[in-house]
């Protein structure tokens, strides 16, 4: 059995919502547009839901980071799969993207391959800790993390399209 897994995405980030409390407690938000500087949002990224500023962004106010988990819009399922969907500013009228975001809580579990920005291969093991990178909203490995939102790799996994992924649980 493998003790580590290498993740480098083919396409965009994917999320399988195994046990996300937002699905039951309705802490799902989709009213604020993305900051004008955001060109792309992948499922599995994180943003701040800054209601006072009227936008979602990678930094700013808001209780904590929220998970980007949009409904996938695939127009030819014979040629497209989960990896082919991301919100791209150029695809929206006036470039205004309004992402759907989920509030996560300690104990929440989901499966993803959206670790890092997809440009470099990342090696993960069960027990590794993940935190949000405030520069781009992607999870990054940080085994020294002890406060703030922390996710832990619970299982090495495979995404539906065969790509490597991990099942993660929020521990802080």
pLDDT of res. 61 = 85
Q: Domain-by-domain residue ranges, the chain? A: 5-170
Which band of pLDDT confidence, cut at 50, 70 and 90, is reported for residue 99?
very high
Q: First and final CA of the chain: distance in angstroms?
A: 28
Each residue of 3-42: pLDDT tens digit? Answer: 999 999 999 999 999 999 999 999 999 999 999 999 999 9
The whole-model pTM stands at 0.93
pLDDT band at 77 (very low <50, low <70, confident <90, very high): low
């Amino acid at each position: 059995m493998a003790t580590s897994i290498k993740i480098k995405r083919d396409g965009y980030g994917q999320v399988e919502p195994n046990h996300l409390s937002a699905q039951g407690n309705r802490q799902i938000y989709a009213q604020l547009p993305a900051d004008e500087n955001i060109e792309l949002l992948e499922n599995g990224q994180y943003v701040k839901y800054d209601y006072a500023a009227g936008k979602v962004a990678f930094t700013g106010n808001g209780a904590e980071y929220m998970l980007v988990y949009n409904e996938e819009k695939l127009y030819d399922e014979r040629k497209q799969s989960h990896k082919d969907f991301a919100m791209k500013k150029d695809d929206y009228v006036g470039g205004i993207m309004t992402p759907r975001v989920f509030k996560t809580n300690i104990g929440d579990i989901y499966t993803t391959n959206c670790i890092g920005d997809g440009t470099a291969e990342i090696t993960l093991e069960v027990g590794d800790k993940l935190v949000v990178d405030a520069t781009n909203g992607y999870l990054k490995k940080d085994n020294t993390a002890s406060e703030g939102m922390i996710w832990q790799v619970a299982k090495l996994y495979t995404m539906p399209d065969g790509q490597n992924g991990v099942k993660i649980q929020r521990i802080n």
